[in-house]
A and B are shown apart, each in its own frame.
Chain A
Amino acid sequence: AQSVSQHNHHVILSEAASLELGCNYSYGGTVNLFWYVQYPGQHLQLLLKYFSGDPLVKGIKGFEAEFIKSKFSFNLRKPSVQWSDTAEYFCAVTGSGNTGKLIFGQGTTLQVKP
């Protein structure tokens, strides 16, 4: 079955700490991968995406993610978090020819302490 697993449900970090959020997917065929973020009181918005090419993708606000095909993973990283990164983060996958039907993970709530 097609699915996305996010290992960390709730992460608490201090400012300037490094961040890595895990994401593993189960999906047959070529995939497109996404990280979406939802800041408190706001709508979901795209953080970064991978379609093809360089497996290390850079997104907004200093975030990056690495696609490791052999591990079916697409982990999100940031070297130094800020209080404003407090949000809920969702990993999502879709097939290369089916871009609208995203399968989302459960989400990870990140709390950054000032």
Chain B
Amino acid sequence: GAGVSQTPSNKVTEKGKYVELRCDPISGHTALYWYRQSLGQGPEFLIYFQGTGAADDSGLPNDRFFAVRPEGSVSTLKIQRTERGDSAVYLCASSLTSPTGELFFGEGSRLTVL
């Protein structure tokens, strides 16, 4: 596609439920990133994939968060036992291989945990 695509755009769930957020990067981009943006804050790094492997997952807040990219294209961010504090906009970005550092962002998935 023309840009980074994220689904769903909005997700409302109850505390304790499991959630999956999907990201479809720009075709040909080997690097993929997940960020989280809370209200009134800038995006916060979660994880970075180069191809199929997680090159840096140091931003994942705890073991309830997990992300995969099995074929080096689409990625899924998985959140187990959601908590109200997980409510945020989850942003996905992709880029050509380093080192340009220019990230192309999707419009985000807004997660609300009740």
Chain A interface (Cβ < 8 Å from any Cβ of B)? 4, 32, 34, 36, 42-46, 49, 51, 90, 92, 94, 96-107
Contact = CB atoms under 8 A, between A and B. Distances in A.
A106 B56 contact: no
Nearest to A4: B42
Contact of A90 (B43, B93, B98, B104): B43
A104 B33 CA distance: 14
Contact of B105 (A4, A43, A49, A99): A43
A107 B64 CA distance: 28
A114 B43 CA distance: 29
Contacts, number: 66
A42 B43 contact: no
B42 A100 contact: no
B43 A44 contact: yes
A65 B82 CA distance: 40
A45 B105 contact: yes
A101 B102 contact: no
B44 interface: yes
Interface core residue of B4, B44, B91, B105 (most chain A CB under 10 Å): B105
- Please provide the 6 A-B residue pairs with the shortest distance between their CB atoms, ordered closest to farther: A104-B42, A99-B101, A44-B105, A100-B48, A43-B107, A43-B105
Contacts of B102: 46, 49
Contact of B43 (A97, A99, A102): A102
B56 A107 contact: no
Nearest to A38: B105
B41 interface: yes
A102 B45 contact: yes
B106 A43 contact: yes
Interface in B29-54: 31, 33, 35, 40-45, 48
A100 B93 CA distance: 9
B45 to A, nearest CB: 5
A99 B56 contact: no
Given A43-B106, A44-B91, A46-B102, A101 B48 contact: yes
A51 B93 CA distance: 20
A100 B55 contact: yes
A45 to B, nearest CB: 7
